[in-house]
Structure 1
Amino acid sequence: MTEALRQLALLITLLGLLSAARVAVTLRRVRPTVALLTDFLLAAGLVRLAAAPSWTSLATAAATVAVRMLVNAGLRASDARRT
């Protein structure tokens, strides 16, 4: 089961990259692209955490959440300054 979850996390990461690339090409906007990518990376991190619960996996998932929140807040602030 652990190997299956690791493979699933890898698949989620790959789908996230492909989806973000598609959104970037279609919309040509940074904010939705980064939001989508970080959502997929968070999902992959949580699946990876379920596969092998360790302090390292937990730290990776927490770091992904922190980066996601900081990047999205920065993009929101950047959009607010433009309007």
Structure 2
Amino acid sequence: YRQKNMAGNFENVGYATSGKAGLYNILIMEEVECILALGASGSTKVVYGDGRIERIENVKDIRNYLERIDEMIGRKLSYWKTPS
């Protein structure tokens, strides 16, 4: 897939040697791995043991993000500390 508003308009893909599958890509595409995203417009994903997935998104505007950075971090920590 392609991300919006990215420099260079490149695909968002991971590296894999020819004939080898990238474990990271498999885990992410199957949605079985947590992702911690930082920065404006970042989207954290917490995967729980029961298969439930929670997404915690940051605000998109950089100034707004910087003004609310402690809130963004706190929201992510509250989810991250309780995965089961």
Asked if TM exceeds 0.5, the reply is: no
Larger relative contact order, structure 1 or 2 (CA cutoff 8 Å, min sep 6): 1
Higher strand share goes to which structure?
Answer: 2
Q: TM-score, normalised by structure 1?
A: 0.34
Structure 1 or 2: more helix by fraction: 1
TM-score by length of 2: 0.34
